[in-house]
């Protein structure tokens, strides 16, 4: 996809002169480039709809615009069915160690809370829904059709998903990011930015908190601080229980996402290795002290 994607970025009719797209590392489902044009730096994401992951670019554009209006994300400068051009944020992309740094957690939580509360004010579409347990059921259906390599674990994954959904309890929807990898946080030296909105949707706030915790392997004391900062009150046993349930659901979703990507995406990424890495973390999490407290 690399050369074709670069050619597509180069051919966009938004440029004032011939450009040279420079590949930007880090994307798991898109080809990303830096493009300098007319004294301004841009980020170009090349990739159309991804039906296997229920990613629809018109939704991403609407949510990205709302996130920019809320002051959370860079400006959308141009979009087409398979291309999104954004203002470039000059800054440092976070790694998991930055998320685990206690000095950064308050700013990250404040950004997530603003996402939950402020994006709906600016959103001009109803917005999709991202109930992780239904997402997981859909992925399991796709994998069953694909005859995937870990089919002997299908019943195990389905049973875990069903059990976790029952354990979590009722949801209170807010507008979530739903993909809180460290690489989606950029520090410009003065503030944080939250990027990549292709999975943005209504969900329970606890999913974003658990997603942040599981993706970045927060230690238990940091998880407690995460909950305290978000809710602004002492952490309860019920908070911890629900976080733990949703961490497992988040890890299951990440693993199923990667297993589906093994056969449905064509980027030069070792999805099988990523699937195995996440499944190892899921197995360790589920084995830790049995069911959630």
In a domain, 209, yes or no: no
169: left (phi over 0), alpha (psi -120 to 50) or beta: left
Residue 252 pairs with which residues in a beta bridge?
Answer: none
In a domain, 21, yes or no: yes
Whole-prediction pTM: 0.93
Q: Strands of 83-87's sheet, edge to edge?
A: 22-24, 31-37, 40-46, 83-87, 76-80
Measured between its terminal Cα atoms, the distance across the chain in Å is: 46
The pLDDT of residue 3 is 74
Per the structure, the count of domains in the chain is 1
The pLDDT of residue 288 is 81
In a domain, 44, yes or no: yes
In a domain, 51, yes or no: yes
Give the CA distances from residue 189 to residues 43, 94, 102, 162, in Å, rounded to whole numbers and listed in that order: 19, 12, 17, 43
Give the CA distances from residue 265 to residues 135, 237, 261, in Å, rounded to whole numbers and listed in that order: 17, 40, 5
For residue 27, the enclosing domain spans: 2-87
Token pair recorded at residue 85: 């051009």
Residues 79-98, mean pLDDT to the nearest whole number:
97
96/222 Cα distance (integer angstroms): 13
pLDDT tens per residue, range 101-145 = 999 999 999 999 999 999 999 998 888 999 999 999 999 999 999
119/104 Cα distance (integer angstroms): 22
In a domain, 49, yes or no: yes
Give CA angle at 78 (54, 182), nearest 5°: 55
pLDDT above 70: residue 291: no
Helix (H) or strand (E) holding 19: none
* More reliable by pLDDT, 124 or 239: 239
Q: Which of 218, 202, 211, 291 is nearest to 251 (CA)?
A: 211
Residues 29-40, mean pLDDT to the nearest whole number:
92
- The CATH number linked to 68 is 3.30.200.20
Residues 24-38, mean pLDDT to the nearest whole number:
86
pLDDT above 90: residue 82: yes
In a domain, 263, yes or no: no
In a domain, 262, yes or no: no
Residue 23 pairs with which residues in a beta bridge?
Answer: 33
pLDDT above 70: residue 1: no
Quickly state the pLDDT bin for 2 (edges 50, 70, 90): low
pLDDT above 60: residue 292: no
pLDDT above 60: residue 79: yes
The pLDDT of residue 289 is 64
pLDDT tens per residue, range 172-202 = 999 999 999 999 999 999 999 999 999 999 9
In a domain, 20, yes or no: yes
The pLDDT of residue 218 is 97
Quickly state the pLDDT bin for 27 (edges 50, 70, 90): low
pLDDT tens per residue, range 240-274 = 999 999 999 999 999 999 999 998 987 778 999 99
Quickly state the pLDDT bin for 290 (edges 50, 70, 90): low
The answer to whether residues 148 and 259 touch, using CB atoms and an 8 Å cutoff, is yes
């Amino acid at each position: 996809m690399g050369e074709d994607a670069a050619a597509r970025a180069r051919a966009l009719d938004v440029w004032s002169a011939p450009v040279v797209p420079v590949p930007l590392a880090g994307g798991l489902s898109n080809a990303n480039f830096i493009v300098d044009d007319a004294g301004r730096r841009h980020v170009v994401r090349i990739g159309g709809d991804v039906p296997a992951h229920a990613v629809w670019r018109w939704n991403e554009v609407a949510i990205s615009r709302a996130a920019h209006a809320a002051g959370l994300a860079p400006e959308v400068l141009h979009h087409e069915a398979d291309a999104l051009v954004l203002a470039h944020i000059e800054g440092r992309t976070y790694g998991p160690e930055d998320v685990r740094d206690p000095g950064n957690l308050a700013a990250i939580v404040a950004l997530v809370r603003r996402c939950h509360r402020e994006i709906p004010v600016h959103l001009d579409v109803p917005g999709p829904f991202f109930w992780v347990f239904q997402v997981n059921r859909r992925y399991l259906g796709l994998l069953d059709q694909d005859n995937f390599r870990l089919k002997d674990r299908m019943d195990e994954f389905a049973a875990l998903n069903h059990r976790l959904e029952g354990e979590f309890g009722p949801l209170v929807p807010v507008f979530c990011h739903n993909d809180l990898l460290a690489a989606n946080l950029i520090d410009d030296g003065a503030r944080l930015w939250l990027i990549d909105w292709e999975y943005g949707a209504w969900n329970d706030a606890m999913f974003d908190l658990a997603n942040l915790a599981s993706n970045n392997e927060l230690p238990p004391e940091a998880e407690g601080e995460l909950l305290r900062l978000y809710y602004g009150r002492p952490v309860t046993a019920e908070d911890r229980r629900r976080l733990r349930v949703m961490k497992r659901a988040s890890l299951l979703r990440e693993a199923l996402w990667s297993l589906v990507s093994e056969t449905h995406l064509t980027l030069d990424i070792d999805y099988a290795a990523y699937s195995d890495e996440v499944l190892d973390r899921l197995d360790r999490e589920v084995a830790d002290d049995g069911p959630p407290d």
